[in-house]
Structure formats: structure tokens, C-alpha cells
Structure 1
């Protein structure tokens, strides 16, 4: 319709779609307040910043710490604030309101579990790259080859052992005097109950990543959803997806849109909102803050 903005076109496409497939990348969680540098880094990792000069949580996660105790001092904080602590904003709840009661599915490379935490149907979610809330064996084989393990209690104990306090809402606060330990006691280090080896976060970093039964069931549900809506009016709504792993969400969404003349593709992200010319006539590429766009749609 002449004169419509892309956000208005997106609102219309949302209302008219038979099905909505959300593809969510790291930019969505960043827009929700899950920043990995700046104030959040300094608030929860002041000692690591002072010792190692870390400038962001993500790169710090690859540091070759000298001891398992120091590794888990870092990672337990990282997991807690990005998986179990209070959510920084209501963006995910606003997004849920846009699709609640609709026929939708979510494909995401994010590992912070925000969708399920705010009430998205877990049977309509596929976390392709893992979950901060799960551990796996560092060397999965035998009984541990296809298993993951819930980690909330273990992470909580490790965080508390460093001197943090945890509020009723999950908020971490520094101890009186602000002194923290950079070591987790040996008896709290996570060990796989099936193979006796050390455990690590269940995050896709190499070929040891465990795709457990839940992962495969979610993959099958996603495939079945796409198949059952092959010719329907589907809105492929891509939020915060960049070019780090375009083969998981971006390229498939382009291909699915091209293959279905009834489909619409919408991309909302800062600085990387674009699409191929072949689907440009059925696409909206919105270079804007995701929180602002979702707020306008809500």
C-alpha cells in the first residue's frame, strides 16, 4: 500500500499470515539488554577485567585459564547472569504478545533460553546451538554421548562460593567489601555422572557438542512445521541475525521465501538488513533497533 512504512507493512503481514517463523540471532538478545561488555562486564567480572584486561564476556570465555577452578569461576558467573538472572528488559515478553495464539515456530542460535523463560511454547522452539542451562561431558562417549545435564543448582553453588549473593529474583550482588574469589573449590567442579569426566557448557564450539534427544526432537518438529506450511502464507521474521552463521537462519529463510510465492520475508536488525533481489518484492528489510520495532508493533 502506498505510503506505508516497512514497520506498518510488517504489522499487516503479521496480522495476515497463516504461520509465523521467527529466526532469532544474537542481535535480538543484545536489543533486550544482554550486552556482553560495558557496565554488565564491569559489574560482574571486575576482578577478571583487572587481571586479564577482558573487554567483553564472549572473548573472555575463550581464555585458557590455568585451573579448572578459575575456568568455572568465570563461566558460572557468565551462565548465571545470562541464563538465570533477571531479564534486562521486556522485549521478549512483547515479542510473545505478537504471536501468542498464532501458529508460530521459533528457530534461534541464541543460548540464553529467553523465549522459554517468558512463556513461548517449548514445543515450538528449536535452540540449534545449545543452552547455557545445560552441561555436557567434555569428552562425550558411551552413556554421555547423547546426554545433557541441567545445571542451575551446580552453577548457583559455584557463584555463591565466590562470595556473590543471589537475591530472591536471581540478581547477583557483590559481597560486603566487594572482594570476590577467582577460584571455585575443587569439590564444586562439575563432573559428568555417566563417564566421570569434567563437564563443560553445552554450547556448539566444536565437534564435541552434544545434540541430545531434546535437540533432535525439536529439530524434527521444526522440519515438520516447515513441511506442513510449505504453500501457506508464511511470514519469515528474522530478528538480529548477522553473517556469523547465515547458513542456520538467514540463507534458509531466503530459500524458503523464494520457493513459496505466498511467503513474506522480514529482516529487522541494525546495519545488516538486506535480502537478495529475487525476493525483494516480498521482503521488508528494516535497519532499526529491534526493541523499537517490536514496541511499535505491540
Structure 2
């Protein structure tokens, strides 16, 4: 098993054993009781830790995209109505993920909705937090691991630096997992959107199928069904694993951005393990709702419970100003 995947598996076991704790928005890990510094001091600390680091590992989750305006997933925000209004008006659900669970009357409508969802994320502009992050990392050696499937990272960064360990909206897979292949979904999505027009369903012949066995396809994304952990999946884990192993002696800063309480096993807890066990490692968490700092990391970590977009923008500005003053 690949190195980073092993860390995820260990964290998944903890999640299953302590599910009731996680379900309450908590963690079984003992947290620091240190009172956080004022916001301006935290920004200074963030900037200093970044400047001191030889290598940076970004862990980006759903809260990062939500901070930049991709906040249509869970509730009826203005961006939800802008992108999914015709479905909400007809079927009454609120939030894009609620639409994923809705019992549409037929597969043509289901795929009309799914194509709308995928088209929305694939064609969204790069959001400001990602742009600010790119500026922050401009002069650093870095790698990125993400559970986001919305392609924001690969629009802004070299894809060789990004490990998408939970899938990618650009690809389809066989729902029966008859093959190890994933294939391009973007052309099919565009065709569905064009054919649907103002309606809420697509023509039957545009429902995508596996080119090998003929079974219906679905996005190569965990959560739709039998998520394919094949060659593409292994390649994503291999990227981040090789990057980490090749920087074991470096002064490494792990920055966790927007991890939710139901998915701590993919980024948050592996970052805690690495930050604690690597002697030259430090850790930053930025989260609007729950910025946790384990007690074991309180002397080498920083937790900022604040708006991710604001934090990244303020750090960016501070670094740019310092650079211009030199």
C-alpha cells in the first residue's frame, strides 16, 4: 500500500471506531487548550512559518472552495439558485448535494441534473482563495493534496503538483467497475447541457455508458457508487507519497484548509501524524467552523478559526508588501 494511503487507512479506522464523536463535530484527539492570539498576530505567525519553511504541503478540502463562492453544495445560497434554480423550482430541494440524493422520475432527468452540476464546477472561474494561494506559494517548493473534485486546483496549479485523491469531475468510470479505465467526461457533459437547454432532462441516447461493457457510467468521484480505486487513483496517491518521502528531512509546513468534520481521515489526521512525527515539521489549520490544534502540536502549530478567503488574502498581502519593501 502507498505511504499516504496507509495514513488515510489508519485515520479511517479511527473514524469508524469513534464515529459518534466525529458525528458531533468533535475529534477523539486531545486538543490544545491554549487561547488563540489575536487575528493580526496569527497572520504574522502564518507568514513567518511560511517564510521559514523549505517545503509546503497544502491540504485543500471543501471549505476552501466554499470560501471562494462555491457554496451551493449544502444549502439554498444565491449561487445555488443561480446554477440549479430550474431544478429547485420544479423539485423543491435546496443545496446541490440534496439534488444528488433526490429521487428524480427518470434517468434522463437525473442526468440532466448531474450534467448541470458537473458543468457548473468544470466551468467555474478560478476562485480568489486559489489565486491568493498561488501567490503565497510563488517562491516555495510545494505540493498539494485535495479531496475536492471541482478542478479548482488544477486550473491554477501544475497538475503534477496536485494529488486529487477523491476523484475528478473531468472523468467518467464504469458503474460496474468492469475496467480500470477512466475516460474524458467533458465533451459528453457539454453535449448534455446543449441538448437539455431550458428543460430539466436530456435525450436518452446521451446518457453515458461504459465503452467496454455498456453499463451506465458515473463520475469518477467517491460518493456516486463503486468508486474505482484503480490506476488513476493509485497515481494520485503515488504523487503525494513520493513528494513527502523525497522531502523527509526538509523543514516542512503542512497547511490544512477547510476540512469538514465528516472527512478528517483524508487530510487532517494524516497531516497531524506527519507534523508530529517529522522533527522539522510545523502545522497550520484554517477553518471557518472548527480549527483544531492537537495538544501534541501546540508548540509547532497554529489554528485559525476564521474565513479562509480572508486569511489567505491577508497573508498574501502581507507577503507581497514585505517583498516590495526589500
Bin of the TM-score, shorter chain as denominator length: 0.7 to 0.9
Root-mean-square deviation over aligned CA pairs: 1.9
Equivalent positions of 1:20-99 (< 5 A) are 20-36=56-72, 37-87=76-126, 89-99=127-137
Q: Unpaired segments of 5 or more residues in structure 2?
A: 1-36, 317-326
Does residue 133 (structure 1) correspond to residue 167 (structure 2)? The answer is no
Task: Find the partner of 1:248 among 266, 273, 295.
Answer: 266
Residue 231 of structure 1 and its aligned partner are, at CA, apart by 3.1
Does residue 260 (structure 1) correspond to residue 278 (structure 2)? The answer is yes
Work out whether residues 236 and 266 of structure 1, in 8 Å CA contact, stay in contact via their aligned partners in 2. Answer: yes
SS in structure 1 at match of 2:101: coil
Residue 3 of structure 1 and its aligned partner are, at CA, apart by 11
Aligned mates of 1:244, 1:200 — CA distance in 2: 23
Aligned position for 2:143: 105
Residue 124 of structure 1 and its aligned partner are, at CA, apart by 1.4
Residue 261 of structure 1 and its aligned partner are, at CA, apart by 2.5
Residue 206 of structure 1 and its aligned partner are, at CA, apart by 6.5
Decide which moves more: 51-60 or 37-46. 37-46
Aligned mates of 2:77, 2:64 — CA distance in 1: 18
TM-score, normalized by length of structure 2? 0.81
Distance 1:209 1:2, change over 3 A: closer
Residue 278 of structure 1 and its aligned partner are, at CA, apart by 0.9
Work out whether residues 59 and 256 of structure 2, in 8 Å CA contact, stay in contact via their aligned partners in 1. Answer: yes
Q: Say which structure is richer in helix.
A: 2
Work out whether residues 143 and 240 of structure 2, in 8 Å CA contact, stay in contact via their aligned partners in 1. Answer: yes
Decide which moves more: 60-69 or 263-272. 60-69
Work out whether residues 46 and 284 of structure 2, in 8 Å CA contact, stay in contact via their aligned partners in 1. Answer: yes
Distance 1:117 1:3, change over 3 A: closer
Distance 1:86 1:2, change over 3 A: closer
Aligned length: 277
Aligned mates of 2:136, 2:285 — CA distance in 1: 16
Per-residue displacement from partner, 1:75-117 (whole Å, max 9, x unpaired)?
Answer: 1110011122334x32212211111342111111100011111
Equivalent positions of 1:119-268 (< 5 A) are 120-141=157-178, 145-163=179-197, 180-205=198-223, 208-268=226-286
